[in-house]
Homo-oligomer: A and B are copies of this chain.
Amino acid sequence: MLINTRPDPSPSAHDRTYRGLRTRIMHGEIEPGFALTLRGIGKEFGVSMTPAREAVRRLVAEGALSLSSSGRVATPDLSNERIEELAALRSLIEVELASRALPRAHMALIDRLQMINGTITTMVETHDSVGYIRTNLEFHRTLYLRAQAPAMLAMAETVWLQLGPTMRKLYGKMRRNEAPHFHRHIIAALKAGDEPGLRLAVRSDVTQGLRMLTT
């Protein structure tokens, strides 16, 4: 009766457009500063301008897109200060999410995380930066889902969304030859039930990428 957790049986045109754009942005498939047009988005998703505009407005509200003064829409090119803020937000929220997930982390979850981490290694080896970002986010989301904190998770995803295009630039320029080793620390802390260690590992993993950009 009140269970509306169903993912929506008939996705509206607006929702398809929104989800499509959102995924592309979050996974870093669009470079910072790239300009989009409503008619172009509409044509791409087979809808008219109206749903395209709603999807764009929604993404602007979430900080995934930037609206210039004349209404032109583009992916944002973040300043270093803003990147630092967003990294700090990631750290704050995700450390809390990990901490809440810890007591509920069964062995099945840890196995799944290890499997995802293996996929990340594959992505690194094949130099698939989009796949790397997507799988890395899947690693974090899988862990945080156990926290049973949907509002916090939504907040964290909003931050990921804002960092999407920048992550593309970041991981594009860094010589990456191995999966993030802090993921192993996270898994180890989960196994040991070590909360301080988990918090430190998550914080380190989240803020490691930042150092590449602002220095």
Show the binding face of A for B, using Cβ within 8 Å.
4, 6, 8, 14, 50, 53-54, 57-58, 60-63, 68-69, 81-82, 85-86, 88-89, 92-93, 96, 148-152, 154-155, 158, 162
- Tell whether, in the assembled complex, residue B4 and residue A69 are in contact, meaning their CB atoms are under 8 Å apart: yes
Closest to A69 in B: B4
Closest to A78 in B: B151
A81 partner residues in chain B, CB cutoff 8 A: 148
In contact, B63 and A154 (Cβ under 8 angstroms): yes
B82–A89 CB distance below 8 A: no
Nearest CB in chain B: distance from A66 CB, A: 9
CB distance from A67 to the nearest CB of B (A): 9
Docked CA distance A148–B81 (Å): 9
Q: Which residue of B lies closest to A68 (CB)?
A: B4
> Is B63 in contact with A62, judged by CB distance below 8 angstroms?
no
Please state the number of chain copies in the assembly: 2
Q: Which residues of B contact A50 (CB under 8 A)?
A: 50
**A62 (CB) vs chain B CBs: closest residue:** B61
Q: Output the residue of A61, A81, A82 with the most chain B CB within 10 A.
A: A61
Set of chain B residues within 8 Å of A93, measured between Cβ atoms: 89, 92
Minimum CB distance partner of A148 in chain B: B81
Having A4-B69, A85-B150, A89-B155, one finds 15 other A-B pairs with CB under 8 Å, namely A54-B54, A54-B57, A57-B57, A57-B61, A58-B58, A58-B60, A61-B62, A63-B154, A85-B151, A85-B152, A92-B92, A92-B93, A92-B96, A155-B155, A155-B158
A–B pairs, 11, beta carbons within 8 Å:
A8-B69, A53-B54, A57-B61, A61-B61, A81-B148, A82-B151, A85-B149, A85-B152, A86-B151, A88-B152, A92-B93
A14, A85, A92, A150 pick with most chain B CB within 10 angstroms: A85
